[in-house]
Structure 1
Amino acid sequence: MGLLNRYLSSPLRRGDSAADALAGFVGSRWKTAAARTDELGAVTAPEAIGGWVAYAASYSPSLLARPWYWQGVIAGLSAMFGHQAGLLISSTVGAIADKVGVQIKLKPGIRQGGKIAGGLILGATAIAIPLRSVRWHRRTAAYSHVNGPNAFWAVASTAAAAGIFVALLAQWRATLWAINYISGHLRNRFAWELLGRLVSTLVVTTTILVIFDQVIMRTVVGVATTASARVDLRTPNGVHQPLTPLHSGSPASRESWSSLGLQGKRFTCGGPSADRIAEVMGRPALQPIRAYASMDGRSIQQVVDAVMAELDRMNAWTRKAILVVTTTGRGNVNEWSTSSFEFLMHGDCATAAMQYSGLPSAVTMLSSKQVPVQASRMLYGAIEDRVATLPLEHRPQLYVAGESLGAFGSNGTFASPEDMLSRAAGGVWTGCPTFTDNQAEWTRRRDPDSTVVRPVVDRGRHIRFACSPAELLIDSRGRPLDAWIAPRFCYLQNDTDPVVWWNTDLLWKKPEWLDEMRGTKTPMAAMTWWPFITFWQIAADMPVCRSVGPGYGHKYHSAQCVPAWAGVLGLDPTADWSTLIAALNVDVPPVNP
C-alpha cells in the first residue's frame, strides 16, 4: 500500500494551470509509479493481488503435465503479467483520485501491519498452491501415461517461478527508473504534457515493432535457417542410403543422397519393402515408391519439378494410388501414417513429399505461415494435372496427408470443403491446428448434438474426427454413424494435443470445448479458462507434447493411423489389425524432432 498512498496523497490543486496539472501528473505521478531503486521490492495491493491470482491460475490443470522447470517458467511469467495488470489498475485509480481530489491515508501501524500480513500470506500460499496442485497434475499425467509430479516438483517449480518473477520485476523497475532519470534531466528543455507523452510512447512502440519485424525477426529467421541447414547435413546412426531404385536418394535417383537433408534421408531410407508387406499382409505386394526432394538452394517451384521428375523416373503413374504428403517445417513426414498407407495398399502406391522450408515448424509459422499452403498447392496441382492427362481407366487415385503444420498446409490445398471432396479420394490428417480453414469449417458444420472435440459432420458420410479406432464408427453418445462413403477424410486429433487446441482466441475467449468436456475423464474437464493464462498454459504444453504415451499429446501412433487409413481406403477400421500394428511398432524407429 506504500506506493498507492504516495500515489494518491498529492491531489491536483484548483489554482494550478492546465500545464502545471499535466506536468504534475506526468512528472510526479510517473516517478511515483516507476519507484526509486531503493524501493525495488515495494508493490501496491493491486499489484500483489494480480500477481498472486495469475500465479495461482498458472498451476491450475492443463492438457499435459509439465516438468518442474517449465512449470516454473510459466508460473513466473504469469505472475508478472498479473502484477502488471494490478499496476495498471493501481495507476488508473490513482490518476482518478488525483483528478477528483481524493486522498487515501492509512496510519503507519496499520500500513506496516498490512505489509507484514500480506507478505506472510503470499509466502505461505506461494508453496501451498503448487503442493495443492500436485494431485491435479498427477491425474493429468496418469491420463497421458507418464510419471506424475511430487513434492519436489512443487518446491522446485516455486523456486524457479520466484527467480523468474524477481528478474522480470528488476528489469521492469530498472527500465522505468532509466526513463524517469532521463525525463528529469530533460524537464527544462521539453514540455512534458500528457499528450506528448502518449504520442512519444506511440512512436517508440511503433518503432520497436518495425525493428522487431524488419530486423530482429529477419535475424532470428536467418540464424534459424543457418542452424537448420547445419542440422540437415547430419546423417544419424541407422539412416542409410536406400538401394531400391524406387526411392529418391538411391544410386538410381536424380536426387543425390547428400542433398536430401536430415528429414528427407529419414523418409527415403524408411518404409516397408515388398517382401515385408507380403509377410505381414499375407499376399504378394509391390515395392512402394517414395519420391522426395529438398530445398538444397532451390525455389519451391524447382523442388516441385524435382519431385515430378522422380515420379516420372519411377513410373509412379502406373500405381493404383498416389499419396501427397505435406511435410512439417524442415521436411518431416509421419512415418506411422505413410507406412500404414503403404501396407494397406499392398505396395501398389507412390508417396510424394518435399521440403519447402529450412526452418522448424514453429519458426515457419511465425515468419512464413502461407509457405506450406503454397508448397502443398503447387505439388498437388502438378500431380493432379499430370494424372488428368492419363486415360480415365488408368488414373491413380489421389490421397493427401500431413501432420501439424503439414496438415495445415495440406488442407490449404483446397479452396473449400466442397473443393476437397471433388478433387481427392481421401486423406488422413494428424494433429491439425484448429485455425486451419477447412478443418474449422467442417467443425462449424457439425451436427448440433456433437462437440468441437468430436465433431460429427453429416453423420460421418465423408468426414470423420477421431482419437481412437472406435470413434471412427460411433459418435460421442455411442450411436453408429452412417455409411462412410468415398471420398473419405479423417482428422485424428487427440484431446490432449496442445497443437490442435492452441489458438490466439484463448487470450480473450472461452473455448467451446471447455464446457463440452465437463464430466469426462479428459484433462479438458478439469481446466478453467483464464484470459491470457489459458493461452500461455496450452502454449507451454507444446514443448512436452511428445513426451507422453502413444495416442496422447502430439503423438499419433500406429494404433491410430492404421485404423484411420483402413477406413479412408474403404476397409473396416475395427477389423483385427494387430499384426500390422505390431509390425509397424517393430519397423518404425523412434525419431527425435
Structure 2
Amino acid sequence: MPERGVRSFLQERVSATGLVLAGTFFALSLTPSLMPRDPVVQGVLGGVVAAVGYEVANLVRSVWRWLGLPDLLRPRPRPALRVGLALALACAAVGLWLAPGWQDATRRVVGLPPVEDFHRALIAGVALPLFLLVWGAGRIVGVLGRRLSRWGRRYLPPRIAAVGAIVLVAALVSVLVNGVLLRAALGAADASFAAADVFLDPEQPAPVDPERTGGAASLLRWEDLGRWGRDFVHRTPTAAQLASLTGRPATEPIRVYVGRRSAETAEERARLAVAELVRVGGFDKGTLVVAIPPGTGWMDPGAHDTVEAMLDGDVATLGVQYSYLTSVLSLWVAPEYGLEQGAALFDAVYEEWRSRPPEERPRLYVFGLSQGALNSQAGFPLLDMLADPIDGALWAGSPFLSPLWQRVRDGRDPESPVWRPRYGNGSLIRVMSQEGFDPEPADPWGPLRIVLLNYPSDAIVHFTPVSALRRPAFLAGPRAPDVSPELRWFPVVTMFQMALDMVVALQVPGHGHYYVAEDYIDAWAALVDPPDWTPARRDALAAAFRDREAF
C-alpha cells in the first residue's frame, strides 16, 4: 500500500478516541483483582480489554454520527491521531510501570511472593500482538458492515439500512463463533475428556474385596466408574488409616460411585446408585452423604476424607457422574444433565431413606462443590420435605448463578457483608468463609442445617455481569481478609477482570475456588456435631490434613 494510502487508511479507520480508551482500559486491567495472575494471562487480559476499550469508543463514535451530530475531530484528523496515540502509549506505559506493585497487592493477601523482574516485558509482549489481532478482526467486521449498509441503502432508508447491516453482521459473527469455532472446540474437548475418563490407571486396579463398588459382586463394572469414580473408590481409607490419623478407634467408611457410562439416563443411574448403596450396607452407617460432583465427576478429597475422619469412618458417601467435561464446559454444553442427575439422585435416595423407620435411618446430608452445589441446590425439594426433613446440606463455592445463593446474598442482614452474609436468624442457613462464621448466630440450629462455604476471593461465587456498569456489592463495606484493599471498580474492565479470575480461580489453595480440608472441617463440624468434638481435636485434625496428601 503506498504511503499516502497508509495515511489515508489510518486517518479514516483509526480512532484517536479509541486509542486513548484502549490505552486506558489496558492500564486499568493491570490493577488488583481477586486472584493473582501470571504475566502471560495478564497480557491476554490486557490485550482483549484494550481491544474492547477501542471498540467501546468506536461504538460511541458511530452512534454520535448516526444521530447526525458533528464530528469534532474530523477537521484535523492527523494531529488528533498523533495526540491520541501519544496518550494511549502514555497510559499503557504508566500501567506497565505500576503493574508489578498492583499484582503484588493481590499476591500479598493470599500469601504469595512478589512477581519477577520480567513481569512488565512479558505482559507487553503478549498484550500488543493480541490487541492488534482483535483490532484487525474488528476492522474486517466493520468493513463488512459498511458494505452491507451501502448495499441496503439502495432499497431502504439510510438509518434502517445501517441497523439492518449491524444485525446481519452480528448474526453472522455469532454463527461463525458459536456454531462453527465453538462447536468444534467443544467437540474436541468432549472427545479428549471422554478418552481420559476411559483410561484405566494400572495403579488403581479393581477392588479385591468383592463387596466394594467395582468388585466382583458389585452391580457396577470397575471400567464404567470413570476416571474420578475409580480414584474415589480406590482411595477409600481403611479403619487402620483413620485410627492412625485421629488416634481413635474407627471403622472403614463406604464409598459408592456410579459413572456416566454405567447407565443411559439420570434416573437409571440414580436407581443403580441406591441399589448398590443398599447392597454394600450404606444405609446401616450412622451418616450418609449424597455428593453431587463438579462436571468431570471429581470427588474432592478435602471434603470427603475430613468428614470420614471426624466421624471415625461411620460414613457412607454416594456420588454419581453426569458429564466428562469441566464445570464451565458442562454448563455451556448441556447444563440440564447435571440438574437432572442431581434431582434424580436425591429423589431416589430420599425415597429409600424415608421407607425406613426413623430410628434405623442414617443421618442424611447433601454435599456439592461448584457446579455440584448448583445442581444439588436445584434438586433440593426443601418445601416437599418439611414434614420429614433430612439432616442438612453443605455447599461449597456456590456459583453466582445459584438461585439459593442469590436469595441468601440479596436477603441478608444489611449489617453483614455480602461475602459472608447473615441470613434470617441463622437457624436454617449459615454462611462461612476461611474465617468461620462471624458472628455465631444467637439462635440454635433447627432440624435442618444448611452451610454455605464461600471464599470472598472466589469470583465464581461473586461474579456478576452487572459489574460492567455498577460496582459489585462485595466491594462495598469492609473488605474480606483475602481481598486486596487496593482493588477498585472500573466500568467494563472489572467485569473482564472477574471473568478471568473465574478461569484462574484454582491456583491458590485456601483462596479463590480452591477449597481446602481445614475449612471443610469447620463446615462439617457445624453440620454433623462429631462425638467428643473439642477445639483440640479440631486443631489436631486440621494440622494432620495440612501435612498430608489424600488417602
TM-score after normalising by structure 2: 0.89
554-563 or 438-447, which moves further after superposition? Answer: 438-447
Deviations 1:143-183 (A, max 9, x none): 21223324411221122111111111122223433555677
Equivalence for 1:546:
506
Give matches, 1:197-276, under 5 Å: 197-206=162-171, 209=174, 218-236=183-201, 238-245=203-210, 247-276=212-241
What SS does the corresponding residue of 2:452 show, helix, strand or coil? strand
The structure number with the bigger radius of gyration is 1
Say if 2:74 is the partner of 1:74.
no
Equivalence for 2:527:
568
Q: Does the C-alpha gap of structure 1 residues 199 and 422 become closer, same or farther in structure 2, counting only changes over 3 Å?
A: farther
Give matches, 1:162-201, under 5 Å: 162-178=128-144, 180=146, 193-201=158-166
Contact 2:433–2:453 (8 Å) recurs in 1: yes
| Cα shift at 1:586 | 5.4
Amino acid at match of 2:461: V
Amino acid at match of 1:551: G
Contact 2:32–2:105 (8 Å) recurs in 1: no
Question: How many residues get paired?
Answer: 544
Q: Equivalents in 2 of 1:123, 1:301: separation in Å?
A: 59
Equivalence for 2:110:
144
Deviations 1:328-351 (A, max 9, x none): 112111111111111122222211
Equivalence for 1:57:
28
Q: Equivalents in 1 of 2:73, 2:294: separation in Å?
A: 58
Q: Equivalents in 2 of 1:503, 1:104: separation in Å?
A: 36
Q: Equivalents in 2 of 1:164, 1:82: separation in Å?
A: 14
446-455 or 279-288, which moves further after superposition? Answer: 279-288
Amino acid at match of 1:531: P
Equivalence for 1:534:
494
Q: Does the C-alpha gap of structure 1 residues 142 and 343 become closer, same or farther in structure 2, counting only changes over 3 Å?
A: same
Q: Does the C-alpha gap of structure 1 residues 496 and 310 become closer, same or farther in structure 2, counting only changes over 3 Å?
A: same
Q: Does the C-alpha gap of structure 1 residues 334 and 178 become closer, same or farther in structure 2, counting only changes over 3 Å?
A: same
Contact 1:466–1:491 (8 Å) recurs in 2: yes
Say if 2:57 is the partner of 1:86.
yes
Amino acid at match of 2:118: F
Q: Equivalents in 1 of 2:32, 2:187: separation in Å?
A: 37
| Cα shift at 1:440 | 1.9
| Cα shift at 1:122 | 2.6
| Cα shift at 1:352 | 0.5
Equivalence for 1:370:
336
Unaligned runs of 5+ in 1: 1-31
Amino acid at match of 2:271: D
What SS does the corresponding residue of 2:95 show, helix, strand or coil? helix
Unaligned runs of 5+ in 2: none
| Cα shift at 1:310 | 1.2
| Cα shift at 1:523 | 2.3
Q: Does the C-alpha gap of structure 1 residues 420 and 91 become closer, same or farther in structure 2, counting only changes over 3 Å?
A: farther
From 439, 452, 457, the equivalent of 1:496 is: 457
Q: Does the C-alpha gap of structure 1 residues 484 and 187 become closer, same or farther in structure 2, counting only changes over 3 Å?
A: closer
Contact 1:246–1:289 (8 Å) recurs in 2: no
Equivalence for 1:425:
391
Deviations 1:530-558 (A, max 9, x none): 3332121111123322221x311211111
| Cα shift at 1:574 | 4.1
Contact 2:260–2:322 (8 Å) recurs in 1: yes
RMSD in angstroms over aligned alpha carbons?
Answer: 3.1
Contact 1:497–1:552 (8 Å) recurs in 2: yes
Say if 2:313 is the partner of 1:347.
yes
Amino acid at match of 1:539: A
68-77 or 246-255, which moves further after superposition? Answer: 246-255
Q: Does the C-alpha gap of structure 1 residues 450 and 276 become closer, same or farther in structure 2, counting only changes over 3 Å?
A: same
What SS does the corresponding residue of 1:552 show, helix, strand or coil? coil
Q: Does the C-alpha gap of structure 1 residues 480 and 177 become closer, same or farther in structure 2, counting only changes over 3 Å?
A: closer
What SS does the corresponding residue of 1:370 show, helix, strand or coil? helix
TM-score after normalising by structure 1: 0.83
Contact 2:197–2:228 (8 Å) recurs in 1: yes
Q: Equivalents in 2 of 1:103, 1:127: separation in Å?
A: 27
| Cα shift at 1:515 | 1.1
Contact 1:430–1:492 (8 Å) recurs in 2: yes
| Cα shift at 1:267 | 0.9
Contact 2:400–2:464 (8 Å) recurs in 1: yes
What SS does the corresponding residue of 1:460 show, helix, strand or coil? coil
Amino acid at match of 2:269: V
Say if 2:247 is the partner of 1:288.
no
Equivalence for 2:361:
395
Contact 2:146–2:165 (8 Å) recurs in 1: no
What SS does the corresponding residue of 2:431 show, helix, strand or coil? strand
Q: Does the C-alpha gap of structure 1 residues 191 and 555 become closer, same or farther in structure 2, counting only changes over 3 Å?
A: closer
| Cα shift at 1:516 | 2.1
Q: Does the C-alpha gap of structure 1 residues 101 and 152 become closer, same or farther in structure 2, counting only changes over 3 Å?
A: closer
Q: Equivalents in 1 of 2:548, 2:90: separation in Å?
A: 52
